[in-house]
Amino acid sequence: VNVQRGLRNKCGLGWRPSIAPIGYLNVHGDPYKDDLIIADPERSQFIKKIFERSANQGQSGRTIKQWLDRIGFTTRKGKSMPLSKIYEVLNNPFYYGQFEFPVGSGTWYTGKHQPLIDKPLFDKAQEVLKVPPRGEYDSHAFPFKTIFTCGGCGGGVTAEEKYRKLKRGGYTKHVYYH
C-alpha cells in the first residue's frame, strides 16, 4: 500500500515511476527539485526522426527498421532496435508529454519531462499506422456449419470457399466443410 501511494505521488509530481523509454534517460535526484527523466543526447534525435518519417513520409515500421539498421542505431544495451519496439515507440504518448500509470488503468498524467515531439505529429503518425479493417469474419452464410459436428471429437464444423479457374475461362466456386 505504501509503495503504491509513493508511485501515485511520483506520478502526481509529473514523473513516470519506471524505466524511461528509449530516447530518454533516468537520472537520480529529488523529484521536487531535479529533472528525473532527461532526453538522451545520443538517441532522442532519432526518435524524433522516427515520428517524422512515419507521419510525414508515410513510412511503415519495417521501412523505419531498415533505415535504423542502415545507419547503425542501437538501443542502450548496444543492440539493434527490433520491429516491435519501433511500433511501441510510435504508439507511446510519453513522447509528447502524457503517460498512463499503471498502464491500462485510465489514469493519465502530464509529465514534467521535455517532450520530444508535439501532439499533432503524434496524431498524424497514429493515422498513418491505422490499418483498414478487413472484411467481416464469417460474413458468408454456410447452411451446414451449425448443423453438423465432428464424429470423432464432437467439435464444430467450419467451412471455407475456394475458387478454381476453368480451362475455358471463368471460375467455379466450391464450399469445403472441415
Buried-exposed string 63-102: b where 16+ CB fall within 10 A, e elsewhere: ebbeebeeeebeeeeeeebeeebbbebbebebbbbebebe
Owner of C-alpha cell 527498421: 65
pLDDT one digit per residue (tens) for the chain, 178 residues: 999 999 999 899 888 888 899 999 988 887 777 788 999 999 999 999 999 999 999 898 999 999 999 999 999 999 999 999 999 999 999 999 999 988 888 899 999 999 999 999 999 999 888 876 665 655 678 888 878 887 888 888 888 888 888 888 888 888 888 8
Quote the crossing angle between the two packed helices 61-71 and 83-90, to the nearest 10°. 110
Residue 176, beta-bridge partner list = 160
Of 135, 148, 136, the residue nearest 175 (C-alpha): 148
pLDDT, residue 133, reads 66
Place of cell 531498415: 66
